[in-house]
Amino acid sequence: MSFPLDRLAVQLDWNLLRTFMVIVQERSITAAAQRLNVSQPSVSAALRRLEERLELRLVDRGAGQTFIVTRAGEAVYREALEIYGGVVRLNEIGSEAGRAISGNIVIQRSSHLEMDDIMRVLEEFRAKHPAVTFSVRSTSCHEVAQALLQRVSSVGFCTRVDPAQRLRALTLTPQEFGVYCGPNHSLYRRHDVDPDLVSASDVVGFEEDQMAGALSALAVYRVRYGIGARMIAAATGIVDLVQLIENSTVIGCLSRAHAIKYGIRLWQIPVAAPPPLVDMFSLVDAERHMTPAEAALIDHLHQAGLVADLRPSSTV
Protein backbone atom coordinates (compact mmCIF):
# COMPACT_ATOMS: atom_id res chain seq x y z
CA MET A 1 0.00 0.00 0.00
CA SER A 2 1.43 3.37 -0.93
CA PHE A 3 0.66 6.78 0.50
CA PRO A 4 0.90 10.08 -1.33
CA LEU A 5 3.79 12.21 -0.13
CA ASP A 6 3.89 15.97 -0.25
CA ARG A 7 6.22 16.90 -3.09
CA LEU A 8 7.77 19.69 -1.03
CA ALA A 9 8.69 17.30 1.80
CA VAL A 10 10.42 15.01 -0.69
CA GLN A 11 12.21 17.61 -2.77
CA LEU A 12 13.14 20.36 -0.31
CA ASP A 13 16.84 20.46 0.54
CA TRP A 14 17.34 20.71 4.32
CA ASN A 15 20.53 22.72 3.77
CA LEU A 16 18.43 25.55 2.32
CA LEU A 17 16.44 25.75 5.55
CA ARG A 18 19.59 25.52 7.64
CA THR A 19 21.18 28.36 5.68
CA PHE A 20 18.07 30.50 6.10
CA MET A 21 18.04 29.77 9.84
CA VAL A 22 21.62 31.04 10.15
CA ILE A 23 20.87 34.11 8.01
CA VAL A 24 18.08 35.12 10.38
CA GLN A 25 20.19 34.48 13.48
CA GLU A 26 23.17 36.44 12.18
CA ARG A 27 21.03 39.22 10.61
CA SER A 28 23.57 39.39 7.82
CA ILE A 29 24.34 37.49 4.62
CA THR A 30 28.05 38.11 5.16
CA ALA A 31 28.03 36.93 8.78
CA ALA A 32 25.99 33.86 7.83
CA ALA A 33 28.54 32.97 5.14
CA GLN A 34 31.36 33.29 7.68
CA ARG A 35 29.55 31.08 10.21
CA LEU A 36 28.76 28.43 7.59
CA ASN A 37 32.26 28.70 6.11
CA VAL A 38 30.94 29.20 2.58
CA SER A 39 31.03 32.09 0.12
CA GLN A 40 28.61 35.01 0.32
CA PRO A 41 27.18 34.31 -3.17
CA SER A 42 26.44 30.72 -2.08
CA VAL A 43 24.37 31.98 0.86
CA SER A 44 22.51 34.47 -1.33
CA ALA A 45 21.82 31.74 -3.90
CA ALA A 46 20.52 29.37 -1.20
CA LEU A 47 18.15 32.05 0.08
CA ARG A 48 16.90 32.71 -3.46
CA ARG A 49 16.34 28.98 -4.15
CA LEU A 50 14.43 28.54 -0.89
CA GLU A 51 12.15 31.47 -1.73
CA GLU A 52 11.56 30.05 -5.19
CA ARG A 53 10.84 26.56 -3.84
CA LEU A 54 8.42 27.83 -1.20
CA GLU A 55 7.02 30.54 -3.50
CA LEU A 56 7.35 32.99 -0.60
CA ARG A 57 9.29 36.18 -0.03
CA LEU A 58 11.25 35.48 3.15
CA VAL A 59 13.19 38.73 3.42
CA ASP A 60 12.83 42.27 2.12
CA ARG A 61 16.21 43.36 0.82
CA GLY A 62 17.65 46.75 1.70
CA ALA A 63 20.84 48.53 0.73
CA GLY A 64 23.93 46.32 0.57
CA GLN A 65 23.48 43.11 2.54
CA THR A 66 20.82 44.47 4.92
CA PHE A 67 17.33 42.95 5.03
CA ILE A 68 14.17 42.62 7.10
CA VAL A 69 12.61 39.21 7.74
CA THR A 70 9.03 39.11 6.45
CA ARG A 71 6.13 37.62 8.37
CA ALA A 72 6.32 34.54 6.14
CA GLY A 73 10.08 34.41 6.81
CA GLU A 74 9.48 34.47 10.57
CA ALA A 75 7.05 31.54 10.23
CA VAL A 76 9.53 29.56 8.13
CA TYR A 77 12.29 30.33 10.65
CA ARG A 78 10.20 28.92 13.51
CA GLU A 79 9.55 25.75 11.54
CA ALA A 80 13.25 25.45 10.68
CA LEU A 81 14.09 25.63 14.40
CA GLU A 82 11.63 22.81 15.08
CA ILE A 83 13.17 20.66 12.35
CA TYR A 84 16.70 21.38 13.56
CA GLY A 85 15.82 20.48 17.13
CA GLY A 86 14.18 17.25 15.96
CA VAL A 87 17.28 16.24 14.01
CA VAL A 88 19.49 16.88 17.03
CA ARG A 89 17.20 14.84 19.28
CA LEU A 90 17.56 11.81 16.99
CA ASN A 91 20.73 11.07 18.96
CA GLU A 92 18.60 10.21 21.96
CA ILE A 93 16.31 7.72 20.20
CA GLY A 94 17.08 4.14 21.09
CA SER A 95 18.60 5.02 24.46
CA GLU A 96 15.26 5.49 26.23
CA ALA A 97 13.05 2.42 26.02
CA GLY A 98 13.47 -0.24 28.67
CA ARG A 99 16.57 1.30 30.18
CA ALA A 100 17.59 3.47 33.08
CA ILE A 101 17.48 7.17 32.32
CA SER A 102 20.43 7.94 30.10
CA GLY A 103 21.63 10.26 27.38
CA ASN A 104 23.62 13.46 27.04
CA ILE A 105 22.20 16.77 28.26
CA VAL A 106 23.50 20.07 26.91
CA ILE A 107 23.73 22.95 29.39
CA GLN A 108 24.50 26.42 28.08
CA ARG A 109 25.94 29.03 30.45
CA SER A 110 27.32 32.55 30.23
CA SER A 111 31.09 32.37 30.46
CA HIS A 112 31.31 35.08 33.14
CA LEU A 113 28.99 33.38 35.65
CA GLU A 114 30.13 31.54 38.77
CA MET A 115 28.31 28.18 38.78
CA ASP A 116 29.53 26.27 41.86
CA ASP A 117 26.10 25.94 43.52
CA ILE A 118 24.49 24.86 40.25
CA MET A 119 27.27 22.34 39.56
CA ARG A 120 26.67 20.76 42.96
CA VAL A 121 23.00 20.28 42.10
CA LEU A 122 23.98 18.76 38.74
CA GLU A 123 26.31 16.34 40.51
CA GLU A 124 23.45 15.32 42.84
CA PHE A 125 21.41 14.52 39.73
CA ARG A 126 24.29 12.53 38.22
CA ALA A 127 24.55 10.49 41.42
CA LYS A 128 20.90 9.46 40.96
CA HIS A 129 21.26 8.84 37.22
CA PRO A 130 24.86 7.73 36.53
CA ALA A 131 24.07 6.87 32.88
CA VAL A 132 23.42 10.56 32.12
CA THR A 133 26.24 12.74 30.81
CA PHE A 134 26.51 16.51 30.51
CA SER A 135 27.91 18.87 27.91
CA VAL A 136 28.45 22.26 29.55
CA ARG A 137 29.10 25.03 27.02
CA SER A 138 30.33 28.52 27.92
CA THR A 139 29.05 31.17 25.51
CA SER A 140 27.64 34.68 25.39
CA CYS A 141 24.19 35.40 26.82
CA HIS A 142 22.73 35.80 23.33
CA GLU A 143 24.03 32.38 22.33
CA VAL A 144 22.54 30.83 25.48
CA ALA A 145 19.07 31.90 24.38
CA GLN A 146 19.72 30.95 20.75
CA ALA A 147 20.78 27.44 21.75
CA LEU A 148 17.51 26.99 23.61
CA LEU A 149 15.45 28.40 20.74
CA GLN A 150 17.24 26.03 18.35
CA ARG A 151 16.48 23.22 20.79
CA VAL A 152 20.06 22.05 20.96
CA SER A 153 20.32 22.89 24.66
CA SER A 154 18.13 21.74 27.54
CA VAL A 155 18.69 24.53 30.06
CA GLY A 156 20.62 27.79 30.13
CA PHE A 157 22.06 30.18 32.71
CA CYS A 158 22.75 33.81 31.77
CA THR A 159 22.77 37.41 32.97
CA ARG A 160 20.30 38.92 30.53
CA VAL A 161 16.88 37.75 29.34
CA ASP A 162 15.66 38.88 25.93
CA PRO A 163 11.93 38.47 25.32
CA ALA A 164 11.12 35.10 23.76
CA GLN A 165 7.67 33.60 24.02
CA ARG A 166 8.84 30.01 24.36
CA LEU A 167 11.54 30.60 26.95
CA ARG A 168 10.65 30.70 30.61
CA ALA A 169 13.06 32.57 32.87
CA LEU A 170 13.59 32.34 36.60
CA THR A 171 15.49 35.03 38.51
CA LEU A 172 18.27 33.53 40.62
CA THR A 173 20.45 35.09 43.34
CA PRO A 174 22.47 38.01 41.89
CA GLN A 175 26.21 37.58 41.83
CA GLU A 176 28.45 40.06 43.62
CA PHE A 177 31.34 41.45 41.61
CA GLY A 178 34.35 43.45 42.74
CA VAL A 179 37.03 45.74 41.28
CA TYR A 180 40.45 44.05 41.08
CA CYS A 181 44.03 44.81 40.13
CA GLY A 182 47.23 42.80 39.89
CA PRO A 183 50.77 43.15 41.31
CA ASN A 184 51.79 45.61 38.57
CA HIS A 185 49.20 48.21 39.58
CA SER A 186 50.14 50.92 42.09
CA LEU A 187 47.00 50.18 44.16
CA TYR A 188 48.02 46.57 44.75
CA ARG A 189 47.83 45.65 48.45
CA ARG A 190 46.87 49.19 49.38
CA HIS A 191 43.99 49.84 51.76
CA ASP A 192 43.98 53.59 51.18
CA VAL A 193 42.41 54.27 47.81
CA ASP A 194 43.26 57.27 45.67
CA PRO A 195 40.01 57.99 43.73
CA ASP A 196 41.92 59.86 41.04
CA LEU A 197 44.17 56.88 40.45
CA VAL A 198 41.17 54.55 40.25
CA SER A 199 39.37 56.78 37.75
CA ALA A 200 42.51 57.17 35.60
CA SER A 201 43.25 53.44 35.37
CA ASP A 202 42.73 51.53 32.14
CA VAL A 203 40.08 48.81 32.29
CA VAL A 204 39.78 45.25 31.04
CA GLY A 205 36.58 43.22 31.08
CA PHE A 206 34.42 40.65 29.40
CA GLU A 207 33.24 41.22 25.84
CA GLU A 208 29.70 41.72 27.15
CA ASP A 209 30.88 44.33 29.67
CA GLN A 210 29.52 47.36 27.82
CA MET A 211 26.45 49.58 27.95
CA ALA A 212 24.50 47.51 25.44
CA GLY A 213 25.85 44.16 26.61
CA ALA A 214 24.66 41.51 29.01
CA LEU A 215 27.01 42.91 31.67
CA SER A 216 25.79 46.49 31.28
CA ALA A 217 25.40 46.65 35.09
CA LEU A 218 29.20 46.72 35.36
CA ALA A 219 29.57 49.45 32.74
CA VAL A 220 26.93 51.56 34.49
CA TYR A 221 28.63 50.95 37.84
CA ARG A 222 32.00 52.18 36.56
CA VAL A 223 30.48 55.32 35.06
CA ARG A 224 28.41 56.09 38.15
CA TYR A 225 31.31 55.80 40.58
CA GLY A 226 34.11 57.06 38.35
CA ILE A 227 35.96 53.75 38.17
CA GLY A 228 38.36 53.36 35.26
CA ALA A 229 39.08 55.42 32.20
CA ARG A 230 39.01 53.46 28.95
CA MET A 231 38.43 49.80 28.10
CA ILE A 232 41.64 48.53 26.50
CA ALA A 233 40.99 44.77 26.26
CA ALA A 234 38.08 42.32 26.40
CA ALA A 235 38.05 38.61 27.20
CA THR A 236 35.52 35.86 26.53
CA GLY A 237 36.41 33.69 29.54
CA ILE A 238 37.31 34.11 33.19
CA VAL A 239 40.83 32.68 32.92
CA ASP A 240 41.78 35.13 30.16
CA LEU A 241 40.36 38.05 32.14
CA VAL A 242 42.25 37.07 35.30
CA GLN A 243 45.50 36.82 33.35
CA LEU A 244 44.93 40.26 31.82
CA ILE A 245 44.47 41.81 35.26
CA GLU A 246 47.31 39.93 36.92
CA ASN A 247 49.88 40.75 34.26
CA SER A 248 48.99 44.35 33.36
CA THR A 249 48.66 47.77 34.99
CA VAL A 250 44.88 47.67 34.66
CA ILE A 251 41.77 47.15 36.76
CA GLY A 252 38.76 44.96 36.03
CA CYS A 253 35.47 43.71 37.44
CA LEU A 254 34.79 40.04 38.02
CA SER A 255 32.74 37.97 40.43
CA ARG A 256 34.22 37.67 43.92
CA ALA A 257 33.86 33.88 43.80
CA HIS A 258 35.87 33.72 40.56
CA ALA A 259 38.52 36.06 41.96
CA ILE A 260 38.97 33.84 45.01
CA LYS A 261 39.13 30.70 42.90
CA TYR A 262 41.30 31.80 39.99
CA GLY A 263 43.00 35.05 40.95
CA ILE A 264 45.65 34.06 43.48
CA ARG A 265 47.54 37.30 42.80
CA LEU A 266 44.49 39.55 42.48
CA TRP A 267 43.78 42.35 44.93
CA GLN A 268 40.25 43.65 45.48
CA ILE A 269 40.45 47.43 45.45
CA PRO A 270 38.43 48.80 48.40
CA VAL A 271 36.56 51.43 46.38
CA ALA A 272 34.18 53.71 48.26
CA ALA A 273 31.05 52.32 46.60
CA PRO A 274 28.72 49.36 47.15
CA PRO A 275 29.76 46.24 45.24
CA PRO A 276 28.22 45.81 41.79
CA LEU A 277 25.55 43.12 41.55
CA VAL A 278 24.90 41.20 38.33
CA ASP A 279 21.52 39.53 37.78
CA MET A 280 21.43 35.82 37.02
CA PHE A 281 18.64 33.88 35.33
CA SER A 282 17.89 30.33 34.31
CA LEU A 283 16.16 29.65 30.99
CA VAL A 284 14.14 26.65 29.84
CA ASP A 285 12.01 26.07 26.76
CA ALA A 286 8.40 25.82 27.89
CA GLU A 287 7.37 24.10 24.63
CA ARG A 288 10.28 21.70 24.21
CA HIS A 289 9.52 18.00 23.79
CA MET A 290 11.99 16.61 26.29
CA THR A 291 13.74 13.28 26.51
CA PRO A 292 13.31 11.38 29.80
CA ALA A 293 16.76 12.54 30.90
CA GLU A 294 15.95 16.17 30.16
CA ALA A 295 12.59 15.98 31.91
CA ALA A 296 14.18 14.40 34.98
CA LEU A 297 16.88 17.07 35.10
CA ILE A 298 14.43 19.96 34.75
CA ASP A 299 12.33 18.49 37.56
CA HIS A 300 15.45 18.10 39.72
CA LEU A 301 16.52 21.70 39.05
CA HIS A 302 12.99 22.94 39.76
CA GLN A 303 12.96 21.14 43.10
CA ALA A 304 16.25 22.91 43.90
CA GLY A 305 14.72 26.28 42.98
CA LEU A 306 16.94 26.75 39.94
CA VAL A 307 14.45 26.70 37.05
CA ALA A 308 10.86 27.79 36.56
CA ASP A 309 7.95 25.38 36.87
CA LEU A 310 7.03 24.25 33.35
CA ARG A 311 3.60 22.91 34.29
CA PRO A 312 0.79 24.85 32.60
CA SER A 313 -0.98 27.39 34.77
CA SER A 314 -4.44 26.48 36.02
CA THR A 315 -7.31 27.92 33.98
CA VAL A 316 -9.77 27.69 36.89
Q: What is the CATH number of the domain that holds 164?
A: 3.40.190.10
pLDDT at res. 92: 55
Other Cβ atoms closer than 10 A to 34: 14
Q: What is the CATH number of the domain that holds 27?
A: 1.10.10.10
165 and 219 co-located in one domain: no
In-domain check, residue 256: yes
Secondary structure (H, E, C), 144-159: HHHHHHCCCCCEEEEC
The total number of structural domains in the chain stands at 3
144 and 266 co-located in one domain: no
166 and 287 co-located in one domain: yes
CA 76 to chain CA centroid, Å, is 23
Residues 254-292: b if buried by 16+ CB within 10 A, e if exposed: bbbbbbeeebeebbebebeeeebebbbbbbbbeebebbb
pLDDT at res. 140: 86
268 and 291 co-located in one domain: no
Per-residue pLDDT tens for 173-201? Answer: 999 999 999 999 999 999 999 999 999 99
pLDDT at res. 2: 42
Res. 135: pLDDT tops 80? yes
pLDDT at res. 95: 47
162 and 192 co-located in one domain: no
Q: Regarding predicted confidence, which is higher, 213 or 63?
A: 213
**What percentage of the chain exceeds 90 in pLDDT?**
47
290 and 156 co-located in one domain: yes
C-alpha 212/C-alpha 217 separation (Å) is 10
Q: What is the CATH number of the domain that holds 212?
A: 3.40.190.290
273 and 190 co-located in one domain: yes
Q: Please give the biggest Cα pair distance in the chain.
A: 86
**Among 159, 160, 240, 158, CA closest to 204:** 240
Which element (helix H / strand E) includes 239? helix 238-246
Phi-psi region of 23 (alpha: psi -120 to 50; beta: other; left: phi over 0): alpha
146 and 68 co-located in one domain: no
Beta-carbon contacts of residue 252 (< 8 Å; ≥ 6 apart)? 179, 180, 181, 203, 204, 205, 241, 244, 245
Find out whether 183 and 266 touch, Cβ atoms under 8 Å: no
Please give the C-alpha separations between residue 236 and each of 122, 205, 239, 240, 300, in angstroms, as whole numbers: 24, 9, 9, 7, 30
pLDDT band at 65 (very low <50, low <70, confident <90, very high): low
Q: What is the mean pLDDT of residues 85-109?
A: 70
HSE at residue 159, side-chain half, CA atoms within 13 A, is 27
Instruction: Give the chain's mean pLDDT.
Output: 85
In-domain check, residue 57: yes
pLDDT at res. 61: 73
C-alpha 105/C-alpha 135 separation (Å) is 6
Res. 98: pLDDT tops 50? no
pLDDT band at 161 (very low <50, low <70, confident <90, very high): confident
Domain that holds residue 84: 7-90
Residues 106-116: b if buried by 16+ CB within 10 A, e if exposed: bbbbbbbbbbe
**Among 58, 57, 105, 103, CA closest to 78:** 58
224 and 183 co-located in one domain: yes
Give the three-class secondary structure for 114. coil
Give the three-class secondary structure for 255. strand
Give the three-class secondary structure for 99. coil
pTM of the model: 0.69
Q: What is the mean pLDDT of residues 125-140?
A: 92
